[in-house]
């Protein structure tokens, strides 16, 4: 879907998708177009893209244990000063305090476990909503 060159100041979208990579990429691409139309720079677009990818991959891999038939709900709003993203899976959730610190020396060689840390590094706010199957993130442009 091609967005018009005129930015809608109340750009909000909701999707319910299976766990297919292509569906996730379409949502990310539409969000990237909205960010560009809002006049926000490449740094903002990169941060939001990375956080969205991590949240959706975690929903598929961990929340749904790889079952692509289960639905993921994604909500996004974009305006000239803020981007909000929520990703919710159908899994049982998780305790974010139980996720090992990927920067701890004993975890440096483990290939997974960095998603939540990356989201927190690139977004202004990140909240894992109990029971842990929904993540809400905000990027506030400066």
pLDDT mean over 1-30: 80
Residues 6 or more apart from 50 whose CB is under 8 A from it? 118, 119, 122
Domains of the chain, first to last: 11-140 (3.30.565.10)
Q: Which two tokens stand for residue 121?
A: 């590094």
CA-closest candidate to residue 7, choices 39, 43, 29: 39
**pLDDT per position as a tens digit, 24-44:** 999 999 999 999 999 998 999
Structural contact between residues 59 and 119, judged by C-beta atoms closer than 8 angstroms: no
Tell me the two tokens of residue 44: 């903002």
In the chain, % of residues over pLDDT 90: 76
DSSP state of 93: -
H or E segment to which residue 51 belongs: helix 42-58
């Amino acid at each position: 879907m091609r967005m018009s060159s005129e930015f809608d100041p109340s750009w909000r979208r909701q999707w319910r998708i299976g766990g297919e990579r292509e569906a996730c990429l379409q949502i990310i691409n539409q969000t990237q177009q909205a960010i560009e139309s809002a006049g926000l720079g490449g740094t903002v677009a990169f941060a939001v893209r990375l956080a969205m990818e991590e949240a959706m991959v975690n929903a598929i891999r961990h929340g749904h244990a790889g079952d692509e038939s289960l639905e993921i709900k994604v909500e996004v709003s974009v305006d000239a000063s803020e981007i909000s993203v929520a990703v919710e899976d159908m899994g049982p959730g998780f305790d974010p305090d139980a996720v090992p610190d990927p920067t701890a020396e004993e975890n440096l060689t483990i290939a997974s476990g960095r998603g939540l840390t990356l989201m927190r590094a690139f977004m202004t706010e990140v909240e894992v909503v109990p029971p842990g199957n929904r993540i809400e993130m905000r990027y506030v442009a400066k």
